[in-house]
Amino acid sequence: MSAPVAITGIGAICALGSEPAQIYRALRAGRTAFAPLRQWDSAGWPAPLAAGVERIDAGAIFDDRRLLKSVQRLRRTDLLGLYAASRAVTASAMLEYRAALPGAQAVEFNERTAVFTGCGGVAYHYQYDFLNAMAAGGGDLRVFGQKLGESVNPTWLLQALPNNVLCYLGIAYGFKGANSCITNHSVSATMAIIEAMETLRTGDADRAVAVGHDSPIEPEAILNLYHLGLLTADTTRPFDAGRSGCLLGEGAAAMVLETQAAAAERHAPVLGIIIGAGVTTEALGVLGIRADGDGAVRAMEMALEAAGITPRDVAMIAAHGNGTVNSDRSEANAIRRVFGADMPPVTSFKWALGHTMAAAGALEAVLVLECLRNGAAPGIGALRDPDPQCLPLAVSASATALHGDIALVLGRGFGGMNTALLLKAPPDATP
């Protein structure tokens, strides 16, 4: 059994809200965030819906006006990530604790504070700045070069770096410890959390900020995913017989993780505990998924073993549940293989907030903490007729009361990636 890691601060933003409790309430109320695409003229598009964030309060990210001015020039995904991370850091109250430390201890605090981010990497729209110059050049590289300065900002590369959130968090808060930026499709955020957890367990840091963020709503991404058969023109219906794919959403979430000793030293309130994790790949190719869910099974078994618990100890499962036919059936098979008759309530959040891709793992983990705190898992509101090939699976369109304090968060990504994260409510949690 591995040493548990404390969660002392959380933050989140998506199309359903700008803080975790608000998003949870929207899920319990059965609200969805999908709306017609507004970022471009999408008339006649085959997948016309997405869950975009209407407003990002950039002024709430940092107090430093000069830094805030620089941040406002970053891409949308970075603003989302920095917003969620700044909310988590503020909620943890660790900056106030650091401010009261003597000089040498404050220096050590910074050097023992790590930052891990998970993001989508380079997106199609990062190249759009070049389109005007390409059109003007008409294939003539000399003209293209002459026109670049008119349409491409000199800071284009700095704005497009995938590790901007990582860098700006270090700059803003002075955190100098271990750090990494992970770009691994929709398991990026979960892997950032797991890397942060392992860094604390090995003693390489005392605390860490783990962030996942993505803004995947762009023309090429939507068309490509639709033609791959992954997006729907309807709505996302995880594990439903009538499901036909997922819809995209954007968002971000963050956690402040600490060793239990570090949290106790500063008397920090503990919001939850990470007790186990597992990461596997099925090695079948970019889109390959094993029908028996082998990769997900092994990830869950690794997490349960690391936590030293049995399937019977798990009170709820937040499935990946992206609403695609093959993925849902494979995941249902995996859950049945691991839990059998001991299966707890199973839910998914993508029916309401969309598939936030690289942000999904962190966003769903933060929402699971809210489920544990409130003692209830929101239902899958879009569920009408459960797919017989996914049954028996403990899914419901209504909220389900939880009988226990441990939850499992599952994630999947291209390349056959599978993740499993086990979270536990703090001992004094009272729903």
Range 5-121+162-424 classified under CATH 3.40.1550.10 = no
pLDDT for res 64: 79
Which segments of 31-184 are extended strands (E)?
35-36, 49-50, 113-118, 179-182
pLDDT above 90: residue 155: no
Read off the pLDDT band of 70 (50, 70, 90). Answer: confident
Helix (H) / strand (E) element for 171: namely: helix 164-173
Average pLDDT over residues 288-307: 96
pLDDT tens sequence across 384-413: 999 999 999 999 999 999 999 999 999 999
Q: What pLDDT was estimated at residue 73?
A: 81
pLDDT tens profile 228-252: 999 999 999 999 999 999 999 999 9
Residue bearing tokens 């009988």 = 403
Buried b (16+ CB within 10 A) or exposed e, 319-347: bbbbbbeebbbbbbbbbbebbeeebbbbb
Amino acid at 27: L
Q: Where are the domains of the chain?
A: 5-121+162-424
- In angstroms and rounded to an integer, the radius of gyration of the C-alpha atoms of the chain is 21
Contact call for residues 96 and 89 (beta carbons, < 8 A): no
How do residues 252-272 score in pLDDT, each as one tens digit?
999 999 999 999 999 999 999
Q: Which of 337, 323, 342 is nearest to 386 (CA)?
A: 323
Backbone angles phi, psi at 230, to 5 degrees: -100, -25
**pLDDT, average across residues 37-43:** 87
Locate 304 and state its tokens: 């349960």
In the chain, the amino acid numbered 296 is A
Alpha helices in 210-354 (DSSP H): 219-227, 260-265, 294-307, 325-339, 350-353
* Candidate from 102-116, 189-203, 216-230 with smallest mean pLDDT: 216-230
Q: What is the mean pLDDT of the chain?
A: 94
Q: What is the pLDDT of residue 10?
A: 98
Q: Provide the percentage of residues in the chain whose pLDDT is more than 70.
A: 99
Longest dimension (CA), the chain: 68
Mean pLDDT of 82-86: 97
The DSSP bridge partners found for residue 406 are: 424
- Alpha-carbon distance of 97 to 102, in angstroms, equals 11
Predicted pLDDT of residue 199: 97
**CA-based angle 83:85:87, to the nearest 5?**
70
Q: Is the pLDDT of residue 343 over 80?
A: yes
- Over 90: is that where the pLDDT of 63 sits? no
| pLDDT over 90 at 127, yes or no | no
DSSP line for 222-259: HHHHHHTT-B-SS---TTBTT---B-BB-EEEEEEEEE
From CA 114, how far away is CA 177, in angstroms rounded?
4
Strands 417-424 and 272-281: antiparallel
Q: Averaged over 326-350, what is the pLDDT?
A: 97
DSSP tally for the chain: helices H, then strands E: 16, 14
- At 180, is the pLDDT very low, low, confident or very high (cuts 50, 70, 90)? very high
Residue 125's pLDDT is 84
The CA distances from residue 26 to 14, 19, 20, 33, 370, in Å, are: 11, 11, 10, 9, 12
**pLDDT number for residue 429:** 62
Is 410 in contact with 296 (CB distance < 8 Å)? yes
Is it the case that residue 431 has pLDDT exceeding 60? Answer: no
Residue 1: per-residue pLDDT: 58
Average pLDDT over residues 3-29: 97
